Amino acid sequence: MARGAVSSEGSGGENIQHFSTMRIRMVGTGDLMAVVHSMDYIKQKQLLPLHIFDKTRVQPNRIVNFVEQRVSFEFAHVVIDEFVKINRIVVYMKEIYTSHPGA
């Protein structure tokens, strides 16, 4: 496991989660676009762009507000010659259901 990585005990990823917020520690230039995808890219949500600074003391937060079993995050630049170094991504989530309704 990577240094600083966290693993949740007892979670097989099959329960329904509420992904509430994402916090990113990064440096660079430009704006970083972020999109949240469900499994197999059935649902997606575009988040507000993250403005990147060369030096900062603040880790920006973005409200995700996404309910799924699992998600993936996609990050992209829009303009050529922008760069980013991501040091840490923290996703706040909470288990809300143990199965799909009606299952």
Contact assessment for residue 6 and residue 91, using Cβ atoms and an 8 Å cutoff: no
Q: Count other C-beta atoms under 10 Å from residue 19's C-beta.
A: 20
Of residues 99 and 69, which shows the higher confidence score? 69
In the structure encoding, which two tokens stand for residue 96, read together?
């809300």
Q: How big is the chain, counted in residues?
A: 103
Non-local (6+) Cβ contacts of 64 within 8 A are: 19, 20, 21, 22, 36, 45, 47, 71, 91
The pTM of this model reads 0.76
Between 9-23, 27-41, 72-86, the lowest mean confidence (pLDDT) is in 9-23
